[in-house]
Amino acid sequence: MLQSYFKLDEHGTNVRTEILAGFTTFLTMAYIIFVNPQILSGTGMDAGAVFVATCIASAMGSLVMGLVANYPIALAPGMGLNAYFAFTVVGQMGHPWPVALGAVFISGVVFFVLTVLPVREAIVNAIPKSLKMAISAGIGLFLGIIALENAGFISGHPTTLVTLGDITRPQAMLAAGGFLLLCALAARRVTGAVVIAILVTAAAGMLLGVTPFSGRIMSLPPSVAPTLFAMDLSGALHMGLLTVVFAFLFVDLFDNAGTLVGVAHRAGLTDKDGRIPRLGQALFADSTATMIGATLGTSTVTSYIESAAGTNVGGRTGLTAVVVALLFLAALFLAPLAANIPGYATAPALLYVACLMARGLTEVDWDDVTEFAPAVVTALAMPLTYSIAHGIAFGFITYAAIKVLTGRWREAGITVLVLSVLFVVKFAVVG
């Protein structure tokens, strides 16, 4: 049955290889079950409920990807998007977390509609590559700021805005050691390097008495009731939140497209023209997973680039994603372990992901000022305004303005020009 449904022979793989690939992918992305509840609980959300929502949404998204699209790509709440949800939409803008969940759900609905209608590819292709890469890098820098703050390496300052924190605190030293360990493991291509670094850092803190240990690792899953169906759709439809919905949609759209292209290309799953077969089904999995996640109580769910770890060991079909889904369901019983992980133990993972995402700036055309200047503005604005949405807006406005002023407005395209005008109107009216 598995051979027939997933077309294993046609893809040159077998059940054993697919299971191994599934375990490999899960280990490389399992850090999300520790990091996501910690980030979102800062908004007032129940950490246990977010843990359950994270596991179930990841399992459902990966399952749909495997069964419908037949791709070895796993899904989970996206890094960067969860930080935007917690630190910008709720923390900085002051919206209640149910309203933020409503915005996530609406963005998933819009993503679904764009997937069904023949406009999705036109939108993706209309955005300049430099802005796409800058957005990815900017989110990375945003995560880096959060990681350094969680570790205690930086703190606020009334004059310089930010300054060096107390790096002699044990939490800061443990976080630094965890990051170095993670990088060393990653350089040696150790599977599950991120999870290992998180657990080792947390264990070291407990052994040194920095943080307590509850003595429990496994239990029945917590209740998801505190966040289930808690989203506020009417609040999310408020005019001031349209930019928030757009930011969720925009980042998910391009992050997901980039991940699908990257993983499919590495695994040799693209056609002779470099296109991805069944792209509509793959994006259907992403949009439905986002809606399911918002309903359960977590931020935007998206495809994970860590899926490449599974394809590197031979994963070629959706059976790999199905195995990942089953492992996320099994992880539901690890809630006590997740609750024992302190912020300084997950900081190395955030900083490592920041380093990976910052690589996007290397693909910007550094010989053309009309391309690299907007890219730098985008990447810098995100961490310094503490907002992904503001970074995107500043990037679009700068790109369009420079292209128009240099007489190269056609290079910007109508989509970028229209979005830039809308961003200017938004800042002028709403702020």
Cα–Cα distance for residue pair 319/342, rounded to 1 Å = 34
Domain boundaries, the chain: 2-429
Number of CB atoms found within 10 A of residue 157's CB: 11
User: What pLDDT sits at residue 194?
Assistant: 87
Residues 6+ apart with CB under 8 A from 122: none
Q: What is the pLDDT of residue 376?
A: 95
pLDDT of 212 > 80? The answer is yes
Tell me, what's the pLDDT at 118?
66
Q: Which of 283, 301, 281, 282 is nearest to 291 (CA)?
A: 301
264-302 pLDDT per residue, tens: 776 777 776 656 788 788 888 989 999 999 999 999 999
Q: Where are the alpha helices (DSSP H) in 41-192?
A: 47-64, 81-83, 97-116, 120-126, 129-151, 170-187
pTM greater than 0.85: no
The span from the CA of 177 to the CA of 200, in Å, is: 10
Q: Is 321:66 a contact under the CB 8 Å cutoff? A: yes
Nearest Cα to Cα of residue 290 among 299, 280, 281, 278: 299
Render pLDDT for 342-384 as a digit per residue (tens, 0 to 9): 889 988 888 888 888 888 888 889 999 999 999 999 999 988 8
- Give the per-residue pLDDT at 305: 78
Average pLDDT over residues 50-58: 96
Q: Mean pLDDT across the stretch 236-253?
A: 80
- Rounded to the nearest angstrom, the gap between the alpha carbon of residue 249 and the centroid of all alpha carbons in its chain is 12
pLDDT digits (tens, 9 = 90+) for 23-43: 888 988 889 999 999 999 999
